[in-house]
Amino acid sequence: MPNSLSRRDFLKVGGAALGALTVSKFVPPRVADAARTLGVLDPNGDGYIPTMCEMCVWRCGVLAKVEEGRVVKLEGNPDHPNSKGKLCARGQSGLMNTYDPDRVLTPLIRVGQRGEGKFRKASWDEALDIVSTNMLKIKEQYGAQAMIFSSTHNLSQVQFENLLYAFGSPNYGTQRSLCFNAMVTAFSLTYGIEEPSRDYTNVKYILLTGRNLLEAISTSETSNLMDAVARGAKLVVLDPRFTKTASKATEWLPIRPGTDLAFILAMINVIVTEKLGDCEFTARYAVGCDKLPNHVSFYTPEWAAKKTGLQADSIRRIAREFAAAMPDSLAHPGWRTSNFINSFQTERAIATLNAIVGNIFEPGGCLNAESPEASGINLGKPTQPAYPRLSSLRLDGVPWKYPLVPLKLGVFQELRDAVLTGQPYQAHGWFIARQNPVLSLPDRQKTLEAFGKMDFIVTIDIIMNDSAWFSDVVLPESSYLERYDPLTPVGSKVFIRQPVIEPQGEAKSALWIYKQLGQRLGLGDFFQYQDEEDYIRQQLAPLGYSLDEVRLHGYVEPPAMQKSQEITFNTPSGKVEIYSETLANAGYPALPTWEEPPSPGADQFYLLTGKVGQHTQFGTQNNQLLHKYEDYPRLWMNPEAAEKLSLKDWELVEVTSEVGSVKVPVQVTPAIRADCVYLTPGYGHLSKGLRTAYGDGVSDSELHVTYVDPVSGGQALSQTFVMVKKA
């Protein structure tokens, strides 16, 4: 338990909740019957059902231990490449997510004011009718485009998008622009894929730019990194904070926020100038390598030292070490790269750095330019009629304001702002699926204002999260342990998410909800599946497996397709585009180029954000098992800075940005640069329906200013500067 034990109230919700974990006898439910017939559960109803986790995006394979109709333990599925038999703290706590006493188990209709939290229970029929009636009303009065759909990408995304396109709205918001737009856009333009996969088997030198892998946990990758370090690989971490990843690093450099770009450019400078890379080899697979020496000549380590606040010698040395280890060196592409507007260039530079040491050209090398999703497995899907043509502009400015942002990613914060301005037209309805924009979008007040402009808001969620709290209708989805989701290829296998227990209360799967809603909206033709099992059978049809076969072990492994030995890249030129014609045509620098990031004023701090290993963004703070083992979220501040402000550890401080202010206890720690402060995101929930999480900590969404990178559409979360003083 963290040292802050005495300051926590662990018994906010009574011990009755953990009583939910004790086994109780009742008539075995339908799902268990089916699993028994399949042989997965024994005649008593006990056994392990394979499925997939949903506590974060890594989606580890899970073996759920069932006893008498209740999930009693979750284990990592050793056959799933993302878990390899392990689960992180969030994965292990997953059953508390399902048995959370604050789950929404019936459809709810708002009866008080928005934000009062007064709802009445309703039947699915009534709730779905209200939703469809309101959506159709908006469509009729203002056009389909007045209805915004937003979701956090997940396994049922394909049917969410089906609903969106069938309805005819172009307006789609996703968390991606708050997360990895910079990386995805940069790597799509450079390698032709969204995200290169990483292989740590032989890696000798790892450069992490942020990417706090030991706290922003991706189970198998986190384990692989630790294995590599234990094996003797050198780990260099660039981070303004001394994170847990930094604590395991061979070398940690407390780089000035926003200047990773300078560091990488200087590394490229050294490698190219000292001819440490293999430009001839590179030239076969990459375009623009020859233009580099001239382009990066200005970016010397000495220049970078001034920008980053680090030693030029270190930069030079690291560049040489990195090149020396090639091709077994890896500059990590990053994960959430929504830091600065120049993050896009940083990502372009990282892509370039990897290319010039050739690690992506090695089959079985550290970096794989084959998309993790492009496994060559073709799943079937239900047929459907053609979608209606979209005639109106997207409210998020893609592509008319942001020509290079992929349609799939969008610019969510722009969408929210357009609701407020009413330009180019006013949106009137918002359909939110498993997302919490109230906490995730920067500048929370604006998001709540945008909610105020809505005639109708409907949210699909499993718990009364903040966005649900402010909605007109809440539709209860079944938790991941209670539902089917469409099949997912991972590597060479196809995995299933299947129900481990019967859904509690009235909760239903997203597949069911979307179809029901679709039918009521007159779009039934677009949902050509009877139920979840029928949907999955249609997906399996081209592969020739039965549903039972997949359910038995949780996956099937179709015979591997012959892959060509040739490495090709899905870019216009077919090669890695260090020099991007596309960027040049759009009027942006064609090669990775320095962009000066803003700096805080004299009394200001960079407001940093990041992740902790015990929570997933904004969705898990109510989970009592995670709440038990979390650290109380305080504002990190360096002792030097704290002394200047006469602040003592745990003292309450007021943090103010240009859009808002919060009060939070300070944590005086040397683990952060003196010009930075840090807040763990995900706290400061507004919903009183989250009885464990409500009242804990503060939300940085109250402080964040909206900054959009014009190239990738990514939000620049670390460009908000704050002032801190005693509260």
CA dihedral (196, 200, 204, 206) positive or negative: positive
Beta-strand relationship, 661-668 and 635-637: parallel
The yes or no reply on residue 498 touching another protein (CB under 8 A) is no
By CB under 8 A, which span of 28-36, 71-79, 163-171, 400-408 interacts with another protein? 71-79
The CB-of-693 to another protein minimum distance in angstroms stands at 14
Does 242 help bind another protein (rule: CB under 8 A)? yes
Angle at 631 between CA 697 and CA 675, to 5 degrees: 75
The string of DSSP letters for 26-81 reads ----HHHHHHHHHTSB-TTS-EEEEEE--SSTT--EEEEEEETTEEEEEEE-TTST
Of 37, 123, 141, 247, which lies in the binding site for another protein, with binding defined by CB under 8 A?
A: 247
Answer yes or no whether residue 92 interacts with another protein by CB under 8 A: yes
With CA atoms as reference, report the closest residue to 719 among 450, 449, 446, 443: 443
121: left (phi over 0), alpha (psi -120 to 50) or beta: beta
Phi, psi of 72 (to 5 degrees): -115, -15
Half-sphere exposure (CA, 13 Å, Cβ side) for 613? Answer: 16
Q: Using CA atoms, how far apart are residues 525 and 21, in angstroms rounded to an integer? A: 42
Instruction: Rule CB under 8 A: say whether 312 interacts with another protein.
Output: no
- Nearest one of 27, 36, 30, 51 to 551, comparing CA atoms: 51
Q: How many CB atoms lie within 10 A of CB 597?
A: 23
Which CB atom, from 217 or from 353, has the smaller least distance to another protein?
Answer: 217
Rounded CA-CA distance 4/633 in Å is 10
Minimum Å gap between C-beta 606 and another protein is: 15
Considering the complex, state which of residue 245 and residue 300 has its C-beta at the smaller distance from another protein.
245
**R_g of the chain, CA atoms, integer Å:** 25
* Distance of closest approach, residue 90 Cβ to another protein, in angstroms: 8
Least distance CB 393 / another protein (angstroms): 45
Is 111 an interacting residue with respect to another protein (CB under 8 A)?
A: no
Q: Which of 182, 214, 500, 676 binds another protein (CB under 8 A)?
A: 214
CB 701 within 8 A of CB 466: no
Q: Does 73 bind another protein (CB under 8 A)?
A: yes
Among residues 57 and 390, whose Cβ is nearest to another protein?
57
Task: Give the CB-side neighbour count of residue 102, counting CA atoms within 13 A.
Answer: 25
Instruction: Give CA–CA dist 116/243, Å, rounded.
Output: 39
512 vs 636, which CB is nearer to another protein? 636
Pick the binder of another protein from 203, 217, 576, 653 (CB under 8 A): 217
Tell me the window of 217-225, 272-280, 285-293, 329-337 that interacts with another protein (CB under 8 A).
Answer: 217-225
Q: Which of residues 600-629 bind another protein (CB under 8 A)?
A: 613-614, 624-626, 628-629
Contact with another protein (CB under 8 A): which of 98, 638, 687, 706?
638
| Residues numbered 161-200 forming contacts with another protein, rule: CB under 8 A | none
Q: Which of 121, 137, 153, 248 binds another protein (CB under 8 A)?
A: 248
* Residue nearer to another protein on the CB measure, 1 or 324: 1
Nearer to another protein, 674 or 727 (CB): 674
Positions in the binding site for another protein (CB under 8 A): 1-3, 5-6, 10-11, 15, 17-18, 21-22, 72-76, 85-89, 91-93, 95-96, 214-215, 217, 219, 222-223, 226-227, 230, 242, 244, 246-248, 252, 254, 613-614, 624-626, 628-629, 638-640, 669-671, 673-674
